[in-house]
Structure 1
């Protein structure tokens, strides 16, 4: 696969044996710890047998749709918790709702 532009191509890639293998290698290398949290002096980790729902993602530092040649390169991967991964891609970032009442605070 040289291109990962369509949803089907991405899905096929992320289900491939090659991706599953390199993903596991990245998790092991990063000691199952979020590298984003680690850079901020925090530790977020999980045991790799922790259950059905994953809490850690393996992220492509240089995205596969712009750098398909790096899709399976270990040096282009890092472990991130779901929160850091979503923050990096500006997804699911909920903002506090502004109070619709302009009441005084007592």
Structure 2
């Protein structure tokens, strides 16, 4: 049986690297001039739809819990308009 993705050491290490890269600041809040502590790493292209991007640094951004919740519609499990805007801004390197 494979270990769930979010419990894996690869994810935990990558998550920590992304938080450090972003200086533990929410990148969504930062766009609006706010300095908010980030506690979550968001998959711009959701893991469920693009597992091949699960550990790609360009696909991961640090967010506070409030902003991360605003990226997903928790009833439909789809990205919100805010989540789609991040997807439009971020793409795989050539």
Same fold (TM over 0.5): yes
1: distance between equivalents of 2:50 and 2:41?
A: 16
2: distance between equivalents of 1:24 and 1:90?
A: 25
Gaps of 5+ in 2: 75-94
Q: CA RMSD in A?
A: 1.9
- Secondary structure of residue in 2 paired with 1:58: strand
Question: Greater relative contact order (Cα 8 A, min sep 6): structure 1 or 2?
Answer: 1
- Normalised to the residue count of structure 2, the TM-score between the two structures is 0.72
Deviations 1:59-78 (A, max 9, x none): 00001111110001111100
Indicate which of 16, 19, 24 corresponds to 2:8: 16
Indicate which of 29, 46, 52 corresponds to 1:37: 29
> In structure 1, what is the equivalent of residue 17 of structure 2?
25
> In structure 2, what is the equivalent of residue 86 of structure 1?
69
Structure 1 residue runs of 4 or more that deviate by more than 2 Å after TM superposition: none
How far did residue 90 of structure 1 move?
3.2
1:61 is the counterpart of 2:44: yes
- Secondary structure of residue in 2 paired with 1:59: strand
- Normalised to the residue count of structure 1, the TM-score between the two structures is 0.64
